[in-house]
Amino acid sequence: MTTHPRRGVLSIDEGTTGTRAAIVLDDGTAAPPAYRPISVHSPDHLRVEQDASEIWAKTAQVCQEALDWAREHRVEVTGVSIATQRATVLLWDTATGEPLTPAVVWQDRRYAARLRAWEPDWDARLIEHTGRPVGSRASLLWAADVIRDDPAARRAHEAGRLAFGSIDTWLVWRLTGGARHVMSATNAVAAGAYDLRTGDWYEPWADFLGCPRDVLPRILDEDGDYGHTDPSVLGVRLPVLSVMGDQHAAMIALGAHRPGQAMCVHGTGTFLDAVAGDRPPAHRRPVPGVLTLVGWRSRGTATFSLEGYAATTGSAVRWLCEEIGLFDSPAQLSALAAEHPGPSRVRFLPALAGTRTPYWSPEATGVLSGLSLSTTKAELARGVLEGIAHSVCDLLDGVERALGAPVTELFCGGGLASSDVLMAAQADLIGRPVRRARANETASLRGAAYLGGVRAGLWPDLPAALAGLGDVPVFEPALPDAARKQARAAWRDLLDRHITDVQEETPS
């Protein structure tokens, strides 16, 4: 009897603090991922940077390990899929292949104060065309400044060998041996100058920022033509089947495919994305920090989403553990939190790099309050997780206001989603069930692979890729409605007072 080899997709998940690769198999599961940490540098309180050469080198290492696993287990690899951190950008020399700048990470706020002056003239136009206001980042402005001020970048541009892109652009360029200078739609949206209606760069904003158009990559569907890997890079020639932002890949893998469904992913930050349909949603009212995005583009058709995010939830937990030393690890924090019956009197606002929703305040800082001589480590741990749960509620409230409709299903994933305390707190404070998706720790890996695998014929559609994973565990709300309203009111009071103090302290 002839047995057919198993098939799979080599999937890359390049995040902010690490890069992974694994073979996603034709039953929808992922093989054990290979992983390498990636350094993040903060030269000052506004700048956040990475080494693009380190990103590439470690991505190549994990890809080789994943391909070795496929050979050992006799899995036929049909192609490559890529999910990346969004809005992290760099410039490089296409002749030497070397980065000319550090990669500027999505948490970077160096332009926040400068951009505020442009809000009155540009916010309305940008929201209409790009789905977002001026904001606190401007990738194309950064590129224009570097080209103007850095001699090496200026010479490379004058010679026609300068390329701009986000991390997906960089990885595809390296994987294809320089054959493709492209960017996926989900990453282009995050770069801040993507026209939601035309599917191309919004030229008036790009021109105003001064970024030369000849350095910009071509924007493609998430399952568009990204070429093939150069055999000299990974040792094999494989089609690059799909490329997308990591949060959107997670949406696919967690099961948020239809309008009314949403996902919440706890990574470095916490992202909440709701599916909005095949047209850009008309914001019924402006909501700070809630953006209209492309969830994904496939075969010429876009699925749109609304997103809110808190930038430093997971990184705040790591900060408490690694920098401050209050806990040995996130796992210990979660275990301690389970020892306290709750609710905690401790209030923790995880805003270590500003707030976005319900207040747009890039200058805001974190808050830890409610401490007394009777506060235990367990109560402190529970207060930290409850603070993250309140932040999720703020994001959900903002997304629903912008959508003009309720979110009917919320799927959760990411590292902190493994905490039963956090999932239960989210259900209690939202007042609705919360679903923790199966295998959520590999969501971005699997989501990108599912989209690419549909293109390669591994599955007929996206739901079929998820079918083998089984039902998801559900956390039902247990907090009485009156107690929930009281807890949310106390949180809003803390947030209101803190933002007022920040605004009074910030020079005009």
Could you please report the per-residue DSSP string of 131-187?
A: SS-S-S--HHHHHHHHHHH-HHHHHHHHTT-EEEEEHHHHHHHHHTTT---EEEHHH
First to last CA, the chain: 77
Q: What are phi and psi of 417, to 5 degrees?
A: -65, -15
Query: Which candidate, 383, 387, 359, places its Cα nearest to that of 371?
Result: 383
- β-bridge pairing 182-184 and 218-220: parallel
Query: Residue 438: what pLDDT?
Result: 84
pLDDT for position 1: 46
Residue 195 burial (C-beta neighbours within 10 Å; 0-12, 13-18, 19+): buried
Distance from the Cα of residue 222 to its chain's centroid: 15
Q: pLDDT by residue (tens digit) across 7-61?
A: 999 999 999 989 999 999 999 999 999 999 999 999 998 999 999 999 999 999 9
Contact indicator for 360, 289 with CB cutoff of 8 Å: yes
**pLDDT for residue 464:** 94
Give φ, ψ of 413 to 5 degrees: -155, -175
Res 283: pLDDT: 58
Q: What is the DSSP annotation of 434-494? A: EEE-TTGGGHHHHHHHHHHHHHHTS-SSHHHHHGGG-PPPEE---S-HHHHHHHHHHHHHH
Which portions of the chain are predicted below pLDDT 50? Answer: 1-2
Taken in order of first residue, the domains within the chain and their CATH numbers are 6-246 (3.30.420.40), 256-308+396-475 (3.30.420.40), 314-395+479-505 (3.30.420.40)
pLDDT at 411: 94
pLDDT of residue 274: 96
Looking at residue 472, what is its pLDDT? Answer: 81
Residue type, position 240, single letter: V
Cα–Cα distance measured from residue 374 to residue 389, given in angstroms and rounded to the nearest whole number: 23
As a whole number of angstroms, the distance between CA 406 and CA 430 comes to: 12
- The DSSP bridge partners found for residue 220 are 184
Report yes or no on whether pTM surpasses 0.85.
yes
In which element (H, E) is residue 413 found?
strand 409-414
Residues in Cβ contact with 228 at an 8 Å cutoff, skipping those fewer than 6 apart: 176, 179, 237, 238, 239, 240
Write b or e for each residue in 81-102: b if 16 or more Cβ atoms lie within 10 A of its Cβ, otherwise e: bbbbbbbbbbbbbbeeeebbbb
For residue 457, what pLDDT is reported? 96
pLDDT above 90 coverage of the chain, percent? 86
